[in-house]
């Protein structure tokens, strides 16, 4: 199968279950709302070394923030409910509460909750107060520019992590340009993030290593500089590979983002679109590339 002359490999991306949360960050201006959300989602590219995977989304045009101010959605993904509470407490406390004029609200309708504002309130040193707003319990914590408003608890739910596809290019410029175009289009899909820098990862990994105690290592079959030294997965003429990883609050959101991204990535200079999997042993979700682009 080819799209615009680009081969779509007959393979699948393998994804796995995670826990997801959606937080709505508001502030006096869009700039400060985004600044706070970016601070809270920083250093969160991979669950391997960061504790969580996170990123930001624009709010849909029809979504009103609880306080009527400019807002941004911040999405967080972890491997357990317990670790989500730890991550949200740290990241909201250090990234959002510290940012000028910010407030923070739950953005995910689900029965499962983790306490965040209910713990951050103690920063108020006894001068914090609570209020109810349309069924939400909020805490008002005094800070030096007024007060930090944060919701008592945040919803968490089962989510999908690790959707992915590879862009194999004739040159670094071709692979990177196609990846940039794909990520730009995928950002319009609600409920997904591409957690790596700029949405792209150049250091894709495999779950094995020749070194004791090292559980992951560079995806050597896709590294062009060592092609003669390994069992390569690269066809002739491929000089660079970029990977896009997708996390989503729902399986269908990941599927839609991959479909859009793969089609956008089929640009001149791209040889093949592939994906990473471990034969179905890593996770229960399988996103078959050819089925996606036919949808």
* pTM greater than 0.75: yes
pLDDT band at 40 (very low <50, low <70, confident <90, very high): very high
48, 63, 78, 96 from 17: Cα distances, Å: 15, 27, 9, 27
Write out pLDDT tens, residues 188-199.
Answer: 999 999 999 999
Confidence (pLDDT) at 84: 97
Confidence (pLDDT) at 281: 81
Q: What is the CATH number of domain 17-157?
A: 3.30.70.520
Q: Where are the alpha helices (DSSP H) in 92-131?
A: 117-120
Contacts of 62 (CB under 8 A, 6+ apart): none
Confidence (pLDDT) at 173: 98
* Mean pLDDT along residues 272-290: 91
Alpha carbons 79 and 211: distance in angstroms, whole number: 25
List the structure tokens of 239.
């000089």
Question: Is 70's pLDDT higher than 80?
Answer: yes
Structural fold of domain 2-15+160-294: Alpha-Beta Plaits (3.30.70)
pLDDT band at 280 (very low <50, low <70, confident <90, very high): confident
Average pLDDT of the chain to the nearest whole number: 96
Quick one: residue 218, left, alpha or beta (phi over 0 = left, psi -120 to 50 = alpha)?
beta
Q: Where are the alpha helices (DSSP H) in 116-236?
A: 117-120, 172-186
pLDDT band at 122 (very low <50, low <70, confident <90, very high): very high
The answer to whether 2-15+160-294 and 17-157 have equal CATH topology is yes
Confidence (pLDDT) at 165: 98
Spell out the domain ranges in the chain: 2-15+160-294, 17-157
Write out pLDDT tens, residues 211-252.
Answer: 998 888 999 999 999 999 999 999 999 999 999 999 999 999
Quick one: residue 71, left, alpha or beta (phi over 0 = left, psi -120 to 50 = alpha)?
beta
User: 131 by DSSP, 3-state: which?
Assistant: strand
The DSSP call for residue 96 is I
* Mean pLDDT along residues 144-166: 97
Question: Is 111's pLDDT higher than 90?
Answer: no
* Mean pLDDT along residues 145-151: 98
% of the chain at pLDDT higher than 70: 100
Q: Quickly tell me which residue has 């030096």 as its tokens.
A: 144
Q: What is the dihedral of CA 89, 91, 95, 98, to 10 degrees?
A: 20
Residue 111 CA to chain centroid, in angstroms? Answer: 22
């Amino acid at each position: 199968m080819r799209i615009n002359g680009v081969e779509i490999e007959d393979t699948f991306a393998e994804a796995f279950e995670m826990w997801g949360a959606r937080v709505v960050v508001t502030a006096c201006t869009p700039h400060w709302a985004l600044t706070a959300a970016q601070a809270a989602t920083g250093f969160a590219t991979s669950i391997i070394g960061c504790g969580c995977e996170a990123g930001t989304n624009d709010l849909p045009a029809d979504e009103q923030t609880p306080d009527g101010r400019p807002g941004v959605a911040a999405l967080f993904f972890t491997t357990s409910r317990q670790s989500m509470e730890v991550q949200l407490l740290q990241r909201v406390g250090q990234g959002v509460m510290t940012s000028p004029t910010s407030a923070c609200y739950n953005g995910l309708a689900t029965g499962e909750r983790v306490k965040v504002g209910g713990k951050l309130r103690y920063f108020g040193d006894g001068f914090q107060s609570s209020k109810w707003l349309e069924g939400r319990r909020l805490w008002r914590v005094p800070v030096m520019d007024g007060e930090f408003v944060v919701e008592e608890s945040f919803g968490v739910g089962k989510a999908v992590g690790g959707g992915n596809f590879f862009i194999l290019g004739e040159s670094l410029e071709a692979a990177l340009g196609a990846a940039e175009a794909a990520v730009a289009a995928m950002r319009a899909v609600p409920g997904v993030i591409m957690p790596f820098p700029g949405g792209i990862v150049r250091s894709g990994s495999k779950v094995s290593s020749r070194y004791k105690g090292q559980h992951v290592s560079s995806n050597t079959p896709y590294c062009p500089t060592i092609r003669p030294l390994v069992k390569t997965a690269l066809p002739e003429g491929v000089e660079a590979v970029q990977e896009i990883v997708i996390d989503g609050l729902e399986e269908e959101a990941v599927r839609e983002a991959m479909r859009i991204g793969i089609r956008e990535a089929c640009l001149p200079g791209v040889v093949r679109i592939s994906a990473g999997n471990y034969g179905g042993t890593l996770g229960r979700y399988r996103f078959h590339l050819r089925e996606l682009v036919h949808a």
